Structure 1
Amino acid sequence: MATPLSPAKFRDAIRAGGARVVEVGDWTTHNRNHKGPWGPLHGVMIHHTVTEGTEHSVALCRTGYSSLPGPLCHGVIDKAGTVHLIGYGRANHAGSGDDDVLDDVIAERALSPDNESNTDGNRHFYGFECINLGDNADPWPEAQVEAIARAAAGICRAHGWGAESVIGHSEWQPGKVDPRGPIGKKGGPALTMAKIRARVAQLLDDDPAPAPTAPAPSAPSTSKPKTVDLSKLIAAARRDPAKKGTPVSYAGARVVEDALAAEGLLARKYADGHFGSASVSAYARWQRRCGYSGAAADGIPGRASLDLLARRHGFKVAA
């Protein structure tokens, strides 16, 4: 049992656990507190979104939809392992679940079967929606699985909880299956809450708390890193080719588009070497993620934001 952390302490606990954090809009005051109490808190609940794409998933979880208003969680964990904080307080994520399961979480013991829906979970759990289609085929990147464990461990450490305070939606509410799917690639080992709790337990055993981690480096390559010429990229972005099939003004644009697609900011079908309006819009979202706003986030690449994208995705930038 615990009083909810302050928004700042919640954010800092996740960062102290070693997960990257992005703060979205007015997340600290975006909640459903007018619909009922929030707290005492007893644990952390993990979900999957049944969506794809970072921007779409974050927006949906933040606003919800007509039959289920947002926020639908407190944080969205994307495929790259970044935690997007979208709300804080009561959120529409857990729904009604089993009181026996809640008792087990409080006691930090093995969970009972979830065969009843008689207890308000939105009141008692922090919730994280993790981007995955939930079809039992969409893979969970290892960076995302690690971020789930690190975010949960950071919160558990802040409250003095053990790994048994971390549960899946499938363990709380009858009929739910999340989270599920293969780890790493199609056909890989199945993601289970037992594996997540085991990793949380390892992290909680660390002393002191783990430092924030950088994105996992790519496997060593003997090939020469690709180089993107910033001036040519800017010219391509300003030229804005009208549609697929028109001449590609600068082949290096495809390198940047592939990186934007990997970040979940650009649909794969638009990663075609034409740095058109979809790519410019995606790059503007990348700039905002880097902390820029207004005219500094117009979608025309700049050196600092491109350097950061290059470091994350293994290419070089030439002036």
Structure 2
Amino acid sequence: MTRRDLPATVDIREVGPRDGLQLEAPLPLQDRLAILKALAKTGLRRIEATAFVSPKAVPAHSDAELLADELERWPHVEFSALVASVGGARRAVGCGVANLEYVISVSEGHSQANVRRRTADATADIAEIAQLVHQAGGQLEAILATSWDCPFDGRTPIERTVEVAQRAVALGADRICLADTIGTATPLRVTSLIHAVREAIPDTEIAVHFHNTRGSGLACSLAAVQAGVTQLDASVGGLGGCPFAPGASGNIATEELIYMLEESGVHTGVDLDTVLTAAALVERAVGHQLQSNLFRATVQT
């Protein structure tokens, strides 16, 4: 690898307030706002703030409307929210959150576990959700869960992920995010899928979302960046996981991704020390040790 293999800059979307907290016990609204305040100081341009999903399925985000009412405190940050249905999209747009991530499971097994619907039926809703989002002046990102592997169906064929990505874009998605939901991807598989998807939808931006279940998350991130991806998800402290995917552990840690990229000459625009300060706040809020090796090393020194 040489410096010429890497882009000059990348854009990191912080997903800790949404993905990172969805497996945690519900936090008081003031704690969640304190986390957002700390993250907004870091230089992060995009933050996924919450999810408009069933409070019974994901109690941690039962206060989505209340949280959304407070996001105007940080006008320099582009906030977004995850939805899993047309109803969730209506709730989000009604609260003034116009930039949405709509999650679709590429594999049928995970789709049934996650939303109890066939992939084709869930994908079809993109047309209505995209209309809602675009009328509100926002952008819609289709997150393709289990893009590489499914905890129920096994390895996801490349052509299956490509097919769902093509259909999502045809129905109105503005961006595609390839998600390694259970953290089983490896660098060569990452680049193979990115190249295949890019060939199928050359005019659509591709983002990536990696989990670190098997310790390969950062390696996969670097492979994606080398393949030309400049939009990456990460979670402060490495928090996160999917409640409907057995064995899925935390996301790649924001601070570790920043450290790796900046040390490789790739500018993120995010201040590492300020992210570590936010991670300490998050650890106190959730009441248990964070998974991030970099954070633990910093605390111990």
Q: Same fold (TM over 0.5)?
A: no
TM-score between both structures, scaled by the size of structure 2: 0.28
Higher relative contact order (CA 8 A, sep 6+): 2
When you count helix as a share of all residues, which structure comes out higher? 2
Rg larger in structure: 1
Give the TM-score, by structure 1 length: 0.27
